[in-house]
Structure 1
Amino acid sequence: MKNILTMTGFCLTIPLLTSCSNHSAVNYATNVVVRELGGPIADVYSTVQTAQSIQKDVIAFEALVRILTTEARVNWGDEKSASNKEYVKYTNNYRTRVFVNFEQGKVHVETLDQQDLKHAIIVTLLTPYNPDEVDLFSDKAVPLGEEPMLYGQVLDQQGKPIRWEWRASQFADYLIDNHLITRSSAKGTIYAIDLDLVGDHLIKRQYQYASIVRQMSQRYQIKESLIYAIMRTESSFNPYAVSHANAYGLMQIIPSTAGRDVFKLVKRKSGQPSRNYLFNPSNNIDAGTAYLHILETRYLKQVRDPLVRHYAIISAYNGGAGNVLKTFHSNRTRAMEILNQMEPEEAYWALTRKHPRQESRNYLKKVTKAQKDFYKGDV
């Protein structure tokens, strides 16, 4: 398997050495770059640095994911990991794990180590939103101290929000005394607790980002209701959202596609955003809204009817502008002509019935419905 890296005008073919150590793979990548470009290292130093950085990041991340899935399978008999609407974190040598389902409003903490259950509950209640410190792809411990990610979304037995460790500790004792769940597994007894987020947890999360959404809406001339609707559909406002397609954050940006487009066409810089960059709410909402702006002003700007273009943009955010046009004809020019002859309800029908991807058909339905929930009459 090969990865083609295009940078500073050169096209370099560098094998992904998934069986080698990061150090040897990076050294190999360096040698390939020098051999391809020729000349002394000083002449190609910046290009080599870029190749090293990309190669090292890819290999290291692949290794982390492989380790996590292997450890999950060994300890738990499955390969559960974080997704776009569910926060999943392993700790304690992968013998303890936490699930926060932001769509369903459910929290589940389970461990194979009974002595770790109380600590795991406390950490879950006090986990901060800090992508630089909370590593979803390892069993690294979670540092506490900042305002918790779930603050106001979980209430204790007295109906109080949980900010400090003393209250989290008391609530953990209450949960263990009154709601402990045990079950047998091939690896031993599993000790667990379940709890619900507050009824309006979705609303509490979504308006944490109100000032950022307003700023990006004005910057890129995209309706606030559309930004909110896409965030709800993509992640249920899960700040740690990640998908198997390598999309990250609230608006589920794929670094190598939408992320790269935003960097190139809007930010006027090379490369693509990192995972940590996209886990930052401000950066993520900026990138997602900027990509909507690109779709509207570049890829789908020839769609004349504003509402038809609106439907096309939503569909393209999920499945790409190319697939929007394929819905109508294999020839892009002819597809645009057909699209421009349609009434909005005809275009909507086609995109929700004839689009090449079933996911994109459903996506347009979900986002248009969600958008109406935010600002009545905005669409």
Structure 2
Amino acid sequence: MKILIFLLLLLISIYSYGKEEKFQNYMKEFQEYENKEIRDYKAYYEQIMKEFEEYKKIVNEEFENYKKEISKYWEDTEISTKTKWVEYSNNYKIKKVVDFENGEIRIEIIDKNKPSNEKIKNLLKDLITEDTNRAFKNDKLSQNIEKKLLEKVKHIKTAKVDKKPILMDVIVQKENPEPKDISKAIENLIQKGELYKKPSKFGGEKVYFFKIKLLPKIFLIKIKEYKPTVSKYSKKYRLRESLIFAIIHTESAFNPLAKSPAPAYGLMQIVPQTAGKDATKIIYGKPVLLAPSYLYNSEKNIMVGTTYLYLLYYKYLSDIKNPLSRLYCTIAAYNTGAGNVARAFIGTTNIKKAIHIINKMTPSEVYNTLEKNLPYEETKQYLNKVAIRIKIYE
């Protein structure tokens, strides 16, 4: 935009004065201005890449510190993953786990005595009524990462984490439940659950754990919560809702507090250095780094994820002629990057050369080549899962 304004002023000046000397001077000024813009952007980009290295360093350090703290109390240092939300009490002696992929709730307590039903009911109530905003505030690991990022990284975007239900819609299945509805749901869970015990790290104490199976196919309940946002960005970027939902399902199993050490955060598992960096160029006009709080805001997470899908399908891989072939390549690229997709066809990361080969193939041949030659087993499985799940959401 700045360059266009400069050119407009230049043309007006040439028209007004019509002098060769002035024209040459303006062209020189324009070239200097353009060179400065390029230098400034290059310097900014280099700074962003340095800051991401600092970002990764902070994440790695905080993950290790958090694991060390947990290991003082627990044999297994269980922390949140892509598909599991894990929360500890302040003294680390109570652990609450929600496994979205396998549909299970687990509450573990280190104590000398067997926990009463009342205690388990209260812990279940806390878990069921907790929203994403409160969960983020209770997440010591994410809070420590966010704090360090704000101290050490300049180009970082944060956001307020929205207050979305995590389990209320799944367990109570009412939009605005009354206390009696919640109590009834908890009673049902107590009846379905089983209490076990195992040794703890402390002499004289045991680990008591209460396990409950959730309803099968909880993702069919969770899609109602995110449908307005998915629909909004589906229309904006001309992407199928079924594709977006299939990717959310495969990336996080609809765990809004999903995290991995990559680092990647949220429903669509956004990695700030890759999807985040590329998508923010479109969203903000320049790449910026996204903090955990930004990516735990469900709307912003879906916005960034769908922007990246748009870039893959309509920009980076746009020369693939067959829409289905391009879809398969886009799915794989979301997981592993466009360069690794190219590698599956030609052994190098040259996308243009790979597209030339892809355009000679049928969609089935493209899919089979990806399944056979993608560099990582994870991506092969990812492609298969997303392709199957698209049909669920159509």
Query: TM-score of the superposition, structure 2-length normalised?
Result: 0.73
**Alpha-carbon distance in structure 1 between the residues aligned to 2:358 and 2:193:** 60
1:149 aligns to 2:166 (yes or no): yes
- The answer on whether the counterparts of 1:84 and 1:241 sit within 8 Å (CA) in structure 2 is yes
Partner of 1:18: none
**Alpha-carbon distance in structure 1 between the residues aligned to 2:192 and 2:283:** 55
Partner of 2:200: 185
**Alpha-carbon distance in structure 1 between the residues aligned to 2:51 and 2:124:** 37
SS of the aligned residue for 1:302 comes to: coil
Q: 1:284 to 1:350 in 2, by over 3 A?
A: same
**Partner of residue 88 from structure 1, selected from 80, 86, 89:** 86
**Alpha-carbon distance in structure 2 between the residues aligned to 1:208 and 1:107:** 20
**Alpha-carbon distance in structure 2 between the residues aligned to 1:170 and 1:340:** 54
Q: 1:123 to 1:7 in 2, by over 3 A?
A: farther
Shift of 1:149: 1.8
Listed as ranges, the matches of 1:208-219 within 5 Å are 208-219=225-236
1:120 aligns to 2:123 (yes or no): yes
**Alpha-carbon distance in structure 1 between the residues aligned to 2:319 and 2:192:** 63
**Partner of residue 393 from structure 2, selected from 365, 374, 379:** 374
Moved more, 176-185 or 59-68: 176-185
Instruction: Name the % identity.
Output: 30
Partner of 2:103: 105
The structure in which a higher percent of residues are helix is 2
Shift of 1:67: 2.5
**Alpha-carbon distance in structure 1 between the residues aligned to 2:49 and 2:346:** 39
1:175 aligns to 2:190 (yes or no): yes
Q: Which runs of 5 or more structure 2 residues have no equivalent in the other structure?
A: 1-38, 145-162
Partner of 2:318: 301
Q: What is the Cα-based RMSD across aligned positions, in Å?
A: 3.5
1:335 aligns to 2:354 (yes or no): yes
SS of the aligned residue for 2:260 comes to: coil
- The answer on whether the counterparts of 2:84 and 2:258 sit within 8 Å (CA) in structure 1 is yes
Shift of 1:181: 2.5
Partner of 1:201: 218
Q: Deviations over 1:51-85 (max 9, x none)?
A: 99878866654443222201222211122110011
**Partner of residue 357 from structure 1, selected from 376, 387, 393:** 376
Shift of 1:117: 4.9
- The answer on whether the counterparts of 2:105 and 2:212 sit within 8 Å (CA) in structure 1 is yes
Partner of 2:261: 244
**Alpha-carbon distance in structure 1 between the residues aligned to 2:367 and 2:189:** 51
**Alpha-carbon distance in structure 1 between the residues aligned to 2:180 and 2:61:** 34
SS of the aligned residue for 1:82 comes to: coil
Partner of 2:139: 135
- The answer on whether the counterparts of 1:147 and 1:163 sit within 8 Å (CA) in structure 2 is no
Q: 1:303 to 1:184 in 2, by over 3 A?
A: same
SS of the aligned residue for 1:137 comes to: helix
Q: Deviations over 1:120-149 (max 9, x none)?
A: 333212211216523152799xxxxx6742
1:222 aligns to 2:239 (yes or no): yes
Q: Deviations over 1:310-369 (max 9, x none)?
A: 111011001110011111113524322111100111001001111111111111111010
Partner of 1:256: 273
- The answer on whether the counterparts of 1:88 and 1:136 sit within 8 Å (CA) in structure 2 is no
Moved more, 246-255 or 62-71: 62-71
Q: Deviations over 1:287-310 (max 9, x none)?
A: 111001000122111111111111
Q: 1:340 to 1:127 in 2, by over 3 A?
A: same
For 1:10, the aligned partner's letter is A
For 2:347, the aligned partner's letter is S
Shift of 1:172: 7.1
Listed as ranges, the matches of 1:158-173 within 5 Å are 164=179, 167-168=182-183, 171=186
Q: 1:72 to 1:162 in 2, by over 3 A?
A: farther
Shift of 1:246: 1.2
Structure index of larger Rg: 2
- The answer on whether the counterparts of 1:339 and 1:347 sit within 8 Å (CA) in structure 2 is yes
SS of the aligned residue for 2:168 comes to: coil
Q: 1:349 to 1:147 in 2, by over 3 A?
A: closer
Moved more, 283-292 or 69-78: 69-78
Q: Deviations over 1:81-126 (max 9, x none)?
A: 1001111111132111111000111000011145665543332122
Larger RCO (CA under 8 A, 6+ residues apart): 2
Residue correspondences, number: 328
Partner of 2:293: 276
Q: 1:191 to 1:163 in 2, by over 3 A?
A: farther
**Alpha-carbon distance in structure 2 between the residues aligned to 1:289 and 1:312:** 15
Q: Which runs of 5 or more structure 1 residues have no equivalent in the other structure?
A: 1-5, 14-46, 141-145
